[in-house]
């Protein structure tokens, strides 16, 4: 029975590291027949990582758009308030008076001209 030394363990790690760099590690472990399965697994992991990054990007866009939408709703509410304030007859008549216009609200209903 062979006894292990510290130098043997260091040599084993060195040889394993060099095999990884050369691309021979799987062949040394005699797992060559499972290469397709290993490559497929790495492909699936890569797809999962890519999909999660795409989902995260989409979710960040959704959050940004929600913030923009809230801001636009506030602006819209302000515009609606201004339009409602301006559309009142009294305020329109007052604004026309301030501008020096002699236009007033009609006192009689409009007359329709018959043909």
Is 62 inside any structural domain? yes
The yes-or-no verdict on residue 9 having pLDDT over 90 is no
The yes-or-no verdict on residue 68 having pLDDT over 70 is yes
Indicate yes or no: pTM above 0.75. Answer: no
Number of C-beta neighbours around residue 25 at 10 A: 15
Could you write out the DSSP letters of every residue in the chain?
-PPP-HHHHHHHHHHHHHHHHHT-HHHHTT-GGGHHHHHHHHHHHHHHHHHHHHHHHHHHHHHHHHHHHHHHHHHHHHHHHHHHHHTSHHHHHHHHHHTT------SSPPPPPP-
Is 63 inside any structural domain? yes
Is 115 inside any structural domain? no
Average pLDDT of 58-70? 96
Total domains present in the chain? 1
Buried b (16+ CB within 10 A) or exposed e, 50-82: eeeeeeeeeeeeeeeeeeeeeeeeeeeeeeeee
The yes-or-no verdict on residue 80 having pLDDT over 70 is yes
Is 83 inside any structural domain? yes
Is 38 inside any structural domain? yes
What range does the domain containing 75 cover? 31-98
Is 10 inside any structural domain? no
State how far the Cα of 38 lies from the Cα of 36, in Å rounded to an integer: 5
The yes-or-no verdict on residue 109 having pLDDT over 80 is no
Comparing 64 with 20, which gets the higher pLDDT? 64
Is 77 inside any structural domain? yes
Per-residue pLDDT tens for 13-34? 888 888 888 888 777 788 878 8
């Amino acid at each position: 029975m062979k006894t292990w030394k510290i130098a043997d363990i260091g040599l084993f790690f060195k040889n394993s590291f060099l095999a990884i760099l050369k691309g021979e590690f799987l062949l040394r472990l005699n797992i060559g027949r499972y290469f397709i399965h290993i490559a497929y697994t790495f492909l699936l992991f890569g797809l999962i990582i890519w999909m999660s990054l795409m989902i995260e990007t989409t979710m960040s866009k959704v959050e940004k758009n929600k913030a923009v939408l809230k801001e636009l709703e506030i602006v819209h509410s302000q515009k609606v308030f201004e339009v409602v304030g301006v559309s009142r007859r009294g305020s329109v008549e007052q604004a026309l008076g301030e501008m020096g216009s002699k236009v007033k609200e009609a006192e009689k209903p409009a007359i329709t001209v018959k043909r």
